[in-house]
Structure 1
Amino acid sequence: MTTLEIKIKNHNFILHPSGAVFWKAYGLLLISDVHFGKISHFRKHGVAVPEEAIGKNFEQLTAVVAYFNPGTILFLGDLFHSSLNREWNLFRNWTANCPADCILIAGNHDIIDRIHYEAIEIRVCDEMIIDGFLLTHHPEERLGYYNFSGHVHPGVQLKGIGRQFLNLPCFFRKEHQIILPAFGAFTGKHILAPSETDVVYAVTKDAVILVV
C-alpha cells in the first residue's frame, strides 16, 4: 500500500488509494461519495450488480479506518445513494463498532432524514470550516479558504504506448481546491482534463501516484 503525503497551507495530508485523505494535525479522515445503498437500489430495479460489491464498501471502509486510526471521520456527502434500504442496517452495525466519531456533510443524494443519523450519533451539517479550510460536498471556491470536496467523482485518462488508454480515479487539485475521488464501488468516474496549473494524483488499487 503506497500512500502520498502532500502539504497544503502548512498542513500535512496523506492521500490513500481508497480515495480517503487523512489530515494529520486533527486526526481527521475525509471520505467522499461512498454511496451506500446504491448497489441494493440497482439490484432492486433489476440491474445485474454483484451483491459482493456491498461487502467491498464496508471492508474498504474498515481497512482505511484501521490504517489511520482517526479520531473523527468526516464524510463529504453522498454517504447514502437514496432512501433507507437493507444497507442502512449494515451501516448502523458498522458505526456501532467504529472507534471514531462520524460527521456527515450532506450531499445531493443524502435524502435520509437526519433523525436516523442522530439515532446512531452521527452529526449532519451542510459544511464545515476548520483552520481556513472549507469542507463541502460540491466543489466551491470561496475567497480566503481552501476547499476539500467530492461530488464530481474525478478521473484522469492516461495514455500509453500504441494508443492505449487507461482511466483511473484521481485526486484533482487546483490552486484553492482539491476534489476527492469517489470512495464507493460502482460509482463511476468523470474524466477531467487538467490545466497547466492543476495537479493530478491518480489512484490505483495499491498506490497514489503523482501524474501532473
Structure 2
Amino acid sequence: MTITIQIKSNTFILHPSGALFWEDKNVLLISDVHLGKVSHFRKHGVAIPENSVSKNFMRLTEVVDYFDPEKVLFLGDLFHSSKNSEWHLFVEWSDCCVAEIILIAGNHDIIAQENYDKIGVKIFQELETDGFLLTHHPTEKEGLFNFSGHIHPGIQLRGFGGHHLKLPCFFQRQNQMILPAFGEFTGKYILVPEENDKVYAITKEEVILIEKRQSYK
C-alpha cells in the first residue's frame, strides 16, 4: 500500500520499496541501492544469501514496472564501490529498462563515468527543477525543496512491554525529504523527529504515517 502526498502543489507517491514517484514529472526517485555490496561481502567471506543479488534487481524491475516512469533517477550510491560481477547485471537490467536512467553521483559512486556513458546513463552532481533540488547528501538551499538520500533513515518505535521496532522510513522536514536506502543489507541510521517532522515508516507491504511522537524512541 502506497501513500500519496503533496509538496509545493506537486504529487508524490511513497512506495514500500523505498522508491518515490513524482507524478507530475513522471519520474521515479530511488536512493542508495548499493549494487555490488552483496557480491563484495560474499567475496570476503561474509555469509550473505546468494539470492540477495537477484533480489535487488527483481525489486528494481518490480517498482519500475509498477509506475512505468519516463525517467528513473537514482539519488546517489547506485553502486557500493568499484565494478564487480553486479556491473554486468546492471548493464543487462538497463538494456531492458525502457525509462531513461539518470544518476546523481554519491560518495560511493566511484565507477568511471565513461562506463555509464557507454550504456546511456547520464550523471549529474545535482539537479534543480521547478523549485526542487535533487541531491545525494541532504542539502539546504533557500527557496528549494530538497530530495536526497545518503543517510539511510530509520525510525525506532516503542511497543508494549518495552519492545522496540526499527523500520526504514521516508523522513520529511520542512524543506526536505530523505529517502530510505533501497538496497539490501544497507543498514539504517535511526533519526529522532522534531515537532514538525513527518515520518513515513515502511514495511515490506505498506507505507505508514507515524503520527504520534510518543511512539518514537
Fold-level similarity (TM above 0.5): yes
Q: Which residue of 1 aligns with 2:135?
A: 136
**Percent sequence identity over aligned pairs:** 61
Q: Which residue of 1 aligns with 2:186?
A: 187
Q: Which residue of 2 aligns with 1:13?
A: 12
Q: Distance in 1 between matches of 2:129 and 2:5?
A: 18
Match of 2:78, SS state, is: coil
List per-residue Cα deviations over 1:71-99 (Å, max 9, x = no partner). 00000000000000000000000000001
Q: Distance in 1 between matches of 2:177 and 2:29?
A: 12
Q: What's the TM-score once normalised by structure 2's chain length?
A: 0.97
Q: Measure how far apart 1:192 and its partner are.
A: 0.3
Q: Which residue of 2 aligns with 1:81?
A: 80
Q: What's the TM-score once normalised by structure 1's chain length?
A: 0.99
| Superposition pairs of residues 103-122 of structure 1, within 5 angstroms | 103-122=102-121
Q: Which residue of 2 aligns with 1:31?
A: 30
Q: Distance in 1 between matches of 2:48 and 2:32?
A: 18
Match of 1:143, SS state, is: coil
Q: Distance in 2 between matches of 1:88 and 1:82?
A: 11
List per-residue Cα deviations over 1:12-61 (Å, max 9, x = no partner). 00000000000001100000000000001111111111111101100000
RMSD of Structure 2 on Structure 1 (CA): 0.5
Q: Distance in 2 between matches of 1:187 and 1:51?
A: 16
Q: Which residue of 1 aligns with 2:90?
A: 91
Q: Which runs of 4+ in 1 moved over 2 A?
A: none
List per-residue Cα deviations over 1:92-145 (Å, max 9, x = no partner). 000000010000000000000000001000000100011110000000111110
1:54 is the counterpart of 2:48: no
Task: Count how many residue pairs are aligned between Structure 1 and Structure 2.
Answer: 211
Q: Measure how far apart 1:209 and its partner are.
A: 0.3
Match of 2:162, SS state, is: coil
Q: Distance in 1 between matches of 2:35 and 2:153?
A: 18
Q: Distance in 2 between matches of 1:154 and 1:91?
A: 25
Query: Which AA in structure 2 matches 1:206?
Result: E
Query: Which AA in structure 2 matches 1:197?
Result: N
